[in-house]
Structure 1
Amino acid sequence: MARARSDSPPLFDIDCKPDFAFEKRAIKEGQWPVAGLDEAGRGPLAGPVVAAAVILNPKRIPKGLDDSKRLTAEQRDLLFDKILASALGVSMASICAEGIDSINILRASLEAMRRAALGLSVQPRLALADGRDIPPGLPCEGRALVKGDQRSQSIAAASIVAKVMRDRMMSGCGQAHVHYGFEAHMGYATPRHRTAIGNHGPIARLHRVSFAPFRLGVEAAECDPDMLIDAPLETHPAATSG
């Protein structure tokens, strides 16, 4: 007899592509539609956290869906268009920097996912959320999947939508605030961004003043990179060679 697939993360990281297994199981159990939930922008020093909810069409799943961090910007943009053209439902929501400062980044991320789920035009029966926490107040049953964007195609689609939307928002901020280079680093704590903060200071309602270096001072943050933010940094393409 085949062993049921566990919801627990694998003991060792395996470089695999997300599939539709969780969704197929839900369909068999009468829990359709299934929405994938994910966010982008937990780690940056500036800008909103953006979440997306996606209900894929089982008959029109775009090829190449994956964790947004494992895709190039060009791949994400192409898949973004395909998701919007084929999905049964797509919704996005964001929490601004001031909101993040007032309730903390974890709660803001979960609230953004909740709002995205509520904004779907198709009522889901089950929501698969990336991470360890189920967003409170969902309009349906929720299920948390660690590394869900690498395991579920619905979550992967949500991660792509959230990432593309947030990058476009931050690129717009770069045009409005030319000294900070947001279009290059998307608000992450790169040397260029930290230098701009030191030279020009934080931007009201855009920088997250509850994060270091704003609480500790730019000099302190420069001396201790581990204290740059309150939550673990996400790897961002602009800050790596890949």
Structure 2
Amino acid sequence: MLDKEHALWSAGYEAIAGLDEAGRGCLAGPVVAAAVILPHDVDLPMVADSKTLSAKKRLAAREAIEVQAQAVAVGICSPQEIDRLNILYASLHAMRRAANDCQPRPDYLLIDGNKAFDDAPCPHETVVKGDATSLSIAAASIIAKTERDAMMHALHEEHPEYGWDTNVGYPTRAHYAALDAHGPTPYHRTSFKLSRT
């Protein structure tokens, strides 16, 4: 999963940041992006697309990433920003924030998906299904997912009726039932369809 990184290192780039996000399809909570810069001698055999790992394995992988990475940064867009921008642009904005917060600053970006954000701080490319083909993007997917899950677990303490400790804001039958019974919270995305009817 380092073919792209090796090619870019060989081309003279040093600080290559993988970018990914979590939470695009949720009814509630922020969208969270992460940027991760890995060193040439990285050794992270446990890192894979976050969607393929159990919660326990994701947390263990996150610990390993944070030990080895040259940089880890997180960018967040709130539900209110999502409603104002739409979820695609909010996701890209969160990625921009993560890239801009990286220290050292990246000199190349590998962006998961097929859309890049405006005003990228350096050369970049999009990588469809990058979390399955690029170790940097896979690492970013794990950071974004674990960061967002932790946020939603904390918000669950404030609003336990929505089951965010298990669904982390995604649309489930129980989440819709809670919305029908209690209505939306300030953490719900009002631009999303919050009812099954």
Structure 2 residue identity aligned to 1:60: V
Structure 1 residue identity aligned to 2:20: D
Gapped runs of 5+ residues in structure 2? none
Structure 1 runs, 4 residues or longer, greater than 2 Å off: none
Q: Distance in 1 between matches of 2:127 and 2:3?
A: 13
Q: Distance in 2 between matches of 1:58 and 1:125?
A: 15
Q: Residue 89 of structure 2 aligns with which residue?
A: 107
Q: Select 2:28's aligned residue among 33, 37, 46.
A: 46
Q: Distance in 2 between matches of 1:61 and 1:36?
A: 16
C-alpha distance after superposition, 1:102-122 (max 9, x if no partner): 000000000100110000011
Aligned-residue CA RMSD in angstroms? 0.8
Q: Residue 66 of structure 2 aligns with which residue?
A: 84
The answer to whether 1:20 aligns with 2:2 is yes
Q: Residue 209 of structure 1 aligns with which residue?
A: 190
Q: Distance in 1 between matches of 2:33 and 2:68?
A: 19
The answer to whether 1:134 aligns with 2:144 is no
What SS class does the counterpart of residue 207 from structure 1 fall into? coil
Q: Distance in 2 between matches of 1:136 and 1:161?
A: 23
Aligned-pair distance for 1:60?
Answer: 2.7
- Structure 1 or 2, whichever has the larger Rg, is 1
Q: Which has the higher contact order (CA 8 A, sep 6+)?
A: 2
Q: Residue 226 of structure 1 aligns with which residue?
A: none
Q: Residue 77 of structure 2 aligns with which residue?
A: 95
Structure 1 residue identity aligned to 2:102: L
What SS class does the counterpart of residue 112 from structure 1 fall into? helix
Gapped runs of 5+ residues in structure 1? 1-18, 223-242
The answer to whether 1:147 aligns with 2:140 is no
Q: Select 1:36's aligned residue among 18, 24, 30.
A: 18
Count of residue pairs brought into register by the alignment: 197
Q: Residue 51 of structure 2 aligns with which residue?
A: 69
Q: Distance in 2 between matches of 1:200 and 1:66?
A: 38
Q: Distance in 2 between matches of 1:135 and 1:67?
A: 22
Structure 2 residue identity aligned to 1:144: T
C-alpha distance after superposition, 1:28-81 (max 9, x if no partner): 111221100000000000000000000012213321211100110011000011
TM-score after normalising by structure 2 = 0.98
What SS class does the counterpart of residue 121 from structure 1 fall into? coil
The answer to whether 1:187 aligns with 2:169 is yes
TM-score after normalising by structure 1 = 0.80
Q: Select 2:150's aligned residue among 168, 176, 179.
A: 168
